[in-house]
Amino acid sequence: MHERINAGGNVSMVRNFVLLGFSDLPELQGFLSGVFTIIYLIILIGNSLIITITILDPALQRPMYFFLANFSSLEICYISVTLPRILFDLWTQKRNISVLGCAMQLCFFLMLGTTESFLLSVMSYDRYVAICHPLRYPLLMNPKKCAQLAAASWLAPVPVQIGQTCQIFSLHFCKSNQIPHFFCDIPPILQLACGDTSAHELSVYVVVMLVAAVPFMLILASYSKIVSTILRLPTAQGRAKAFSTCSSHLLVVVLFFASASLAYLRPKSSHSAGTDKLLSLLYAIVTPMFNPLIYSLRNKDVIVALRKLFLNYTVP
């Protein structure tokens, strides 16, 4: 159903939106459905395995892996906000979503995305303390401190993103009810709003700077200290080991922040449905799929723990 409201006349409230998604590719609906189903299974299985081994393996009862388990739990929640809805639309071709449903999807997506930003910065702080202050590491990163940092990462985004979602959905939508996207995201929703949205766009920029740019700067500061400390290590083996513990985290940081920043901090004139969808695919779906692979394939402790887990279940 397509609702088009004349902005010059009486503004009528949009009761539902239509997620156009991949409707412009009718011949690829079955293929896309299969691809997204496989991606969802990879994300669920990969992250569930990481959570399992961090709980069961005594060698992984360390702060680094406590935060990794939190991160894997987050990735499962994060992807479950968007992918099941995408699959539902592909399977049923029913693309309607209520305004409340759209607001809830956006709110959870923003909250979990912010949590990811905070958790990545906490994980970089953990690596900074481990490498730059190894003797004080057990004291600075004790179980209570780790639990507090994890809880803050999960809970701090809640009031911020509820407020931002309420602000966005306080707008009147009079241009169309069709969202040229596969989930409810800020840029395509703002494009449907009546009148001047510059104040709302400015608030989005401010929030993104606070919840993404500030953590990213903290991560850069942590890694500048880490790199300078590693380069001063006396042996090449020690330097290689230190770099290997940080490289996977740094790769995840670059993937997430680069794609998310391009999506939200680009000027309005450069926004297009195709570009927005491509960037959203990158940071909302592709990055969560690669994260468990990056952490498992580049971490010897995780590989050993996975081998032990599978051997326990395969050897009678």
Q: How confident is the model at residue 193 (pLDDT cuts 50, 70, 90)?
A: confident
96-98 and 16-19 strand pairing = antiparallel
What's the rounded mean pLDDT across residues 118-128?
92
Contacts of 230 (CB under 8 A, 6+ apart): 131, 239, 242, 243
Q: What pLDDT is recorded for position 270?
A: 60
Q: What is the dihedral of CA 190, 193, 196, 200, to 10 degrees?
A: -40
Whether the CB-CB separation of 29 and 112 falls below 8 Å is answered with no
Q: What pLDDT is recorded for position 4?
A: 44
pLDDT over 50 at 7, yes or no: no
Whether the CB-CB separation of 77 and 170 falls below 8 Å is answered with no
pTM, to two decimals: 0.86
Tens-digit pLDDT profile for residues 237-249: 767 766 776 777 7
What mean pLDDT is reported for the chain?
Answer: 84
- Does the domain spanning 16-305 belong to CATH 3.40.50.720? no
Q: How confident is the model at residue 273 (pLDDT cuts 50, 70, 90)?
A: low
Q: How confident is the model at residue 3 (pLDDT cuts 50, 70, 90)?
A: very low
Contacts of 157 (CB under 8 A, 6+ apart): 110, 111, 112, 114, 115, 118, 211
Whether the CB-CB separation of 153 and 215 falls below 8 Å is answered with no
- Provide the edge-to-edge strand list for the sheet that holds 96-98: 96-98, 16-19, 178-179
pLDDT over 90 at 104, yes or no: yes
- Return the higher-pLDDT residue of 145 and 246: 145
Query: For residue 49, what are its two tokens?
Result: 């395995």
**Apex CA 312: angle with CA 307 and CA 316, to 5°?**
135
Tens-digit pLDDT profile for residues 280-296: 787 788 888 887 777 77
Give the three-class secondary structure for 24. Answer: coil
Q: What is the DSSP string of 152-221?
A: HHHHTHHHHHHHHHHHHTTS-B-S-SEESSSS--HHHHHTTBSS--HHHHHHHHHHHIIIIIHHHHHHHH
Tens-digit pLDDT profile for residues 14-31: 778 998 888 878 888 889
Percent residues over pLDDT 70 in the chain = 89
What are the helix (H) ranges across the chain?
Answer: 29-56, 63-92, 99-132, 137-140, 143-155, 157-168, 186-190, 198-208, 214-231, 236-265, 273-281, 287-297, 300-314
